Amino acid sequence: MSPEMIGMLGIALLLVLILLNVSVGLSLFLVGFLGVSLLTDWSVGLAQLGTAAFGTANAYSLSVIPLFILMGMFMSSTGLGQDLFKAVDKWLGHTRGGLAIATIGASSIFAAISGSTNATTATMARIAIPEMDKYKYQPSMSTAAVAAGGTLGILIPPSVILILYGALTQVPIGPLLIAGIVPGLLLAVIYMITINIQVRLKPELAPRSLESSTFKEKIRSLSTVWPFLIIFMVSIGGIYFGVFTPTEAGGIGAIGAFLVTLITKKLTWEKLKTSLDDTIRLSVMIFLILIGASIFGRFLALSQIPMKLTSMVGSADVSPYVILLLILLVYLILGMFMEGIAIMVLTLPIVYPMITQLGFDGLWFGIIMVMVLNIGVLTPPLGLSVYIISGVVKDVPITKIFRGVTPMVLVMVAFTILLIIFPEIVTFLPEISRS
């Protein structure tokens, strides 16, 4: 068989293994090892297992991953998320759809620490939905607010997905994290506006609370928000102003989160063990995926598929935006069936060279890709965020949750189109930080 045919069979095998729920890292290991061995020699394949593992684990730039994860675990496992929601509720809870809007606001701040869609969604589902139930919010509204807020977890830095994107494409991680700030905050505001419009059109979705906090109560509530804001400003602000490298910012953020949980007396011995255990488990999973992706990337390079596709795209007599939209459509379809990390490691070795060949900014494409993956976590049949919420609120049919998030999905599609038309929304902040 030709190298290209072996490459296509390898991609098909990888897709089958992932759909069969085999670990993404192990799937990449297996397919990459077999592919390299078939295209070269078994000794070369075995050598790749060692060199890829050492090269990836030894990369200084990737040490940021466990540090940012640890920072998020300290803040999420100690119950600070509940205090955060109550504080935002003091400011926004009395408005139309106030609790749902407060959920978006709290998710935005929590996402800036956790860096994870799953963590943000699960935390807010446990905290916010019971509160909205007390005020007779329709389940379609309460679950939609939590699902939409959860998507901010991989857009607002420090985003683990964006760090992985940088590791897989060699796009600098610092500017990549900064690029997610403006789109993430804008999307949060658009979510809030969408909720307000829905409630005005259908007041029964979210009965208005007559309770209004005094100005003194609002100011006092900020005491629970300052840990999140300080950690975010110090770590991400340090990257923006060039004071820290991303790895140094991760270390400072992790230490800051640890000290905050100590000062606020939220950290117990059991919660400390839980935070460390979850950090180790998630970090090991991500590093296994990165090592497997390195071997799989070597296999694809030997198969010549990325180079052939890049050449074909470069010679195609169509607008680059047509090809971009086709790529995003494929991402949207994959996102309905697969988890975001699996999609990235499967497609980026092929797609990223095509994107740069078309003349698009790799940093900008990272944000666009995350937006499309976010749409995937809210759409059937997989809809990972929807299933997480369904696991928390078992009495709400999953079909009702999917119907509830439909306006949010439409908003995300429109916002993605806006980012494509005006790429400066993504790129201007990283450009200012470089100057």
CA–CA separation, 31 and 378 (whole Å)? 30
C-alpha torsion angle, residues 420, 424, 430, 431 (rounded to 10): 140
pLDDT < 70 positions in the chain? 79-81, 93-94, 115, 208-212, 314, 337, 382, 435
Residue 22: which of 351, 369, 338 has the closest Cα? 338
Instruction: Compute how many other C-beta atoms are within 10 angstroms of the C-beta atom of residue 218.
Output: 14
Cα(68)–Cα(113) distance, integer angstroms: 8
DSSP E strands, 156-307: none
Q: Dihedral sign for Cα 283, 251, 365, 302, please.
A: negative
Query: Can you tell me the distance from the alpha carbon of 310 to that of 313, in angstroms, rounded to the nearest whole number?
Result: 5
pLDDT (0 to 100) of residue 211 = 64
Q: What is the pLDDT of residue 347?
A: 85
CA distances from 156 to 116, 120, 181, 320 (A): 9, 11, 5, 28
Nearest to 279 by CA among 115, 90, 40: 115
What pLDDT was estimated at residue 371? 93
Closest CA to 59 of 240, 291, 253: 291
Q: Determine contact, residues 433/242, Cβ cutoff 8 Å.
A: yes
pLDDT at 209 (0 to 100): 61
Neighbour tally for 30: CB within 10 Å: 19
Closest among 84, 103, 83 to 93, alpha carbons compared: 103
Query: d(Cα 90, Cα 150) in Å, to the nearest integer?
Result: 21
DSSP notation for 74-104: HHHHTTHHHHHHHHHHHHHTTSTTHHHHHHH
Q: What is the C-alpha separation between 418 and 415, in angstroms, rounded?
A: 5
> Do residues 106 and 84 lie in contact, with contact meaning Cβ atoms separated by under 8 Å?
yes
Give the position of tokens 């999307």. 187
Among 231, 225, 268, which Cα is nearest to 251's?
Answer: 231
Asked if residues 275 and 75 have their Cβ atoms less than 8 Å apart, the reply is no
Judge contact between 158 and 71, C-beta under 8 A.
yes
Regarding pTM above 0.85, the answer is no
